[in-house]
A = this chain, B = another copy of it.
């Protein structure tokens, strides 16, 4: 039936500046859809099944707008290089292992288990070039109940032969086979995933563009992460005036088909305008941009322009799947950017960070990431009693503290689209 009432301290965003909190409130799920938040429960819902989480913090699930599942094994490792060196030294070697389906099974079991136990309910995920391993990942996610877009990665140049598609034609064939196999899941959907311009030939981009139109697929990729990368793209695409154009000229930069571009640390005015105009989603990945010494994206500017912006863990350039951690890093990096680079953009606060983590990124999935009426009902139940304190705290303060201090053990139950994924008994 997927109809029930949850009681607790309900926290959700309406907009960048509106963080709504109802202490000891009720949030109602009807057929998997949110039927509103109430201070007093309307009589008509009195007959619904009832979950009493009175002392807990209740949030809509987080969306991880950019994460590489196959890189999960080396999270927290190899943090000594910038982007291109890091890809060549650590990343490609690890991703190549997914030609071995048994390795993929072991690794993706761990990834999906940890994702389920996190506060994330929805994610946009990169696989590898391997169709079999990517299908396996999708099957595991499908049964977990997490909602996800998953992409088989495309790349046919500037990468080691052991991790490269043989030709644009072969890539087209393999990718179409993978797409047609991926269309009938309930929770998981395919998303086109050209790795990034340096590893995708014009021929490949043309082929992907054909598949995009044929199957009406969204797309995810990387954009303007590192200054060396941007220079390289300029050399590779002399006919474009900025990096984003190299996607846009193949129709893979928003507009008709939704697009997520990760990073946008160094996007200039034209690129930013085009993202705004074509409704491109930005996946802000502050820990990744820090670990790879890429820089700090001007997130407040993006938010104030009304560009759709969410948060990404960017495993394994980011070390942690925790979107709480991404929120903390977004705030922290915005402060350092303000101090060291540009005092015209005020630092972010809890309100903006929580918005990006929930409704901002959730919008890629339609109406997701909020407890406003009509939104798909995702909820994460948080027991913060392990974070002890001698004084009284209100729900807003408890939420703020969680941004910095939440651990997976604090996540005690999770619902996605009205379906309960798990519920832990006390300190299980």
Contacts and interface: CB of A to CB of B under 8 A. Distances in A.
Interface in A393-412: 393, 397, 400-405, 407, 409
Nearest to A401: B76
Contact of A403 (B76, B94, B339, B409): B76
A77 B76 CA distance: 27
A159 to B, nearest CB: 20
A88 to B, nearest CB: 18
Interface stretch (A50-58, A102-110, A160-168): A102-110
Interface string A48-87: 0000000000000000000000000111110110000000
Interface in A289-309: 290-291, 293-296
For the complex, would chain A's binding face be called helix, strand, loop or mixed by DSSP majority? helix
A182 interface: no
B293 A349 contact: no
Nearest to A293: B335
Query: Which one of A336, A338, A404 has the greatest number of beta carbons of chain B within 10 Å?
Result: A336
Interface in A222-273: none
A271 B336 CA distance: 24
A340 B336 contact: yes
Nearest to A402: B76
B296 A390 contact: no
Contact of A338 (B110, B293, B296): B293
A320 interface: yes
A293 B401 contact: no
A404 B75 contact: yes
A110 B388 contact: yes
A214 interface: no
A310 interface: no
Interface in A327-386: 328, 331-333, 335-341, 347, 349
A347 B400 contact: no
Contact of A401 (B77, B332, B335, B389): B77
A425 interface: no
Copies in the complex: 2
Nearest to A406: B76
A295 B341 CA distance: 11
Given A388-B110, A390-B103, A331 B404 contact: no
A370 B93 CA distance: 35
A180 interface: no
Contacts of A103: 390-391
A395 B333 CA distance: 31
B405 A319 contact: yes
A295 to B, nearest CB: 5
A390 B107 CA distance: 5
A287 B333 CA distance: 11
A70 to B, nearest CB: 10
Contacts of A391: 73-74, 94, 97, 103
B290 A106 contact: no
Given A340-B295, A403-B76, A404-B75, A390 B335 contact: no
Contacts of A110: 388-390
A321 to B, nearest CB: 10
B400 A290 contact: no
Nearest to A391: B73
Contacts of A77: 393, 397, 400-401
20 contacts: A74-B391, A75-B401, A75-B405, A76-B400, A76-B401, A76-B402, A76-B405, A77-B393, A97-B391, A110-B390, A114-B388, A290-B335, A290-B336, A293-B339, A295-B336, A296-B340, A319-B328, A320-B404, A407-B407, A409-B409
